[in-house]
């Protein structure tokens, strides 16, 4: 088979869709485990855990490579899916007299294409909500600061606002006009341009505010309820897409051994329910916990 045939034949497209689809399922599991920290730990502890996780994800070279593989997989999976749906349509120019999707596989393919397109739209909106702001936009992003209460030498109550720093051995760095933040997370002495240490981007605060919960009095998204409903609906669509997609990926890859297929189908159905439901619970709980 020539190189172009490897990429363009209908069988090759199904193969690539299956491979990228299964890779994206792995991404979903990793992404879910990271995001669950938004609800499993609360208060300052939860905020630290999530911001440390986001920092690690943004700075680890292996994770960066995986991120690029994810973007490429999303684009490949979507493009192949759209081309397959178009090819299916062209191969059967006369529409079924009875348009019964359950009775023909091209009906299922069309349904998968519609669900997949809806998920792609969700991913674009979702990345604009968070990923764009934290990774691409030049708009200033909040950094992680926290307030401690203590008493001064005279016994008077006082509060200090400190940067939460990445370097454990570093003394707490107070927020003051002498310290400036550069390159998103680096703290510098303003006058002498000497680096003090690294802080964290406060992605936790942004996600919480987006779904309607204020952290330390920060303003929240006034359309939070709409955002929660959108995310829950998108997870329902994702569930339907995975319900068929997971096991059919194994078939496309030729891994459909008679002995293992019932187990794979069952696992696929459980995966299609558990993963999107767990994702959907996150914005609901954040919204309700305000
Ligand atoms: C309620 C559930 C979800 C929450 C709270 C959430 C939160 C986030 C956040 C905060 C980021 C930015 C992370 C960063 O760039 O450091 C992100 C990135 C991303 N999310 Fe989600 N997400 C959710 C569900 C999903 C789902 C269901 C999908 C896919 C269908 C998805 C796909 C992505 C992708 C592709 C990225 C970019 C990842 C990267 O740069 O490596 N997310 N998400």
pLDDT tens-place string over residues 32-60: 999 999 999 999 999 999 999 999 999 99
> Strands 157-163 and 173-174: what pairing?
antiparallel
Question: Within a domain: residue 65?
Answer: yes
Q: Do both 74 and 49 map to the same domain?
A: yes
Question: Within a domain: residue 290?
Answer: no
Q: How many domains does the chain have?
A: 2
Question: Within a domain: residue 251?
Answer: yes
pLDDT of the residue at 89 = 76
Distance between CA 247 and CA 21 in Å, rounded?
11
The residue whose CB lies within 8 Å of the most ligand 1 atoms, and thus the one to mutate among 53, 128, 130, is 130
Q: Do both 123 and 158 map to the same domain?
A: no
Ranges of beta strands (E only) in the chain are 145-151, 157-163, 173-174, 179-182, 186-189, 194-198
Q: Do both 180 and 259 map to the same domain?
A: no
Q: Is the CB of 141 under 6 A from ligand 1?
A: no
Ligand 1 nearest-atom number relative to CA 119: 30
Task: Read off the DSSP letter of residue 216.
Answer: T
Mean pLDDT of 217-234: 95
Question: Within a domain: residue 207?
Answer: no
Question: Within a domain: residue 209?
Answer: no
Ligand 1 nearest-atom number relative to CA 67: 41
Rounded distance from Cα 287 to ligand 1 centre (Å): 18
Question: Within a domain: residue 289?
Answer: no
pLDDT of the residue at 229 = 98
Q: Do both 181 and 46 map to the same domain?
A: no
Mean pLDDT of 261-273: 96
Give pLDDT tens digits for 170-198: 788 999 999 999 999 999 998 898 999 99
Q: Is the CB of 22 under 6 A from ligand 1?
A: no
Q: Do both 115 and 244 map to the same domain?
A: yes
> What is the value of pTM for the model shown?
0.90
Rounded distance from Cα 200 to ligand 1 centre (Å): 18
Average pLDDT, the chain: 90
**What domain range includes position 176?**
148-199
Distance between CA 180 and CA 187 in Å, rounded?
6
Mean pLDDT of 71-87: 92
Q: Is the CB of 84 under 6 A from ligand 1?
A: no
């Amino acid at each position: 088979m020539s190189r172009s045939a490897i990429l363009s034949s209908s069988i090759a497209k199904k193969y690539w869709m299956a491979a990228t689809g299964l890779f994206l399922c792995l991404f979903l599991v990793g992404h879910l485990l990271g995001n669950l920290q938004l609800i499993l730990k609360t208060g300052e502890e939860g905020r630290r855990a999530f911001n440390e996780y986001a920092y690690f994800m943004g700075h680890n070279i292996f994770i960066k490579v995986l991120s690029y593989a994810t973007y490429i997989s999303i684009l490949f999976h979507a493009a192949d899916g759209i081309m397959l749906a178009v090819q299916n349509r062209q191969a059967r120019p006369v529409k079924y007299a009875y348009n019964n999707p359950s009775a023909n596989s091209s009906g299922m393919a069309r349904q998968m294409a519609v669900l997949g397109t809806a998920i792609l739209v969700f991913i674009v909106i979702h990345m604009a909500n968070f990923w764009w702001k934290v990774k691409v936009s030049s708009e200033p992003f909040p950094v992680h600061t926290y307030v401690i209460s203590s008493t001064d030498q005279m016994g008077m109550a006082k509060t200090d606002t400190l940067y939460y720093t990445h370097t454990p051995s570093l003394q707490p760095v107070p927020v003051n006009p002498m310290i400036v933040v550069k390159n998103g997370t680096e703290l510098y002495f303003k006058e002498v341009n000497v680096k003090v240490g690294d802080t964290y981007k406060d992605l936790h605060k942004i996600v919480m505010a987006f779904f309607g919960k204020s952290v330390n009095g920060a303003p929240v998204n006034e359309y939070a309820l709409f955002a929660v409903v959108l995310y829950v609906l998108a997870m329902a669509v994702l569930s339907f897409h995975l319900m068929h997609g997971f096991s059919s990926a194994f078939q496309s890859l030729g891994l459909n051994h008679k002995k293992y297929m019932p187990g794979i189908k069952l696992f696929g159905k459980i995966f299609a329910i558990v993963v999107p439901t767990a994702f959907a619970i996150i914005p609901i709980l954040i919204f309700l916990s305000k």
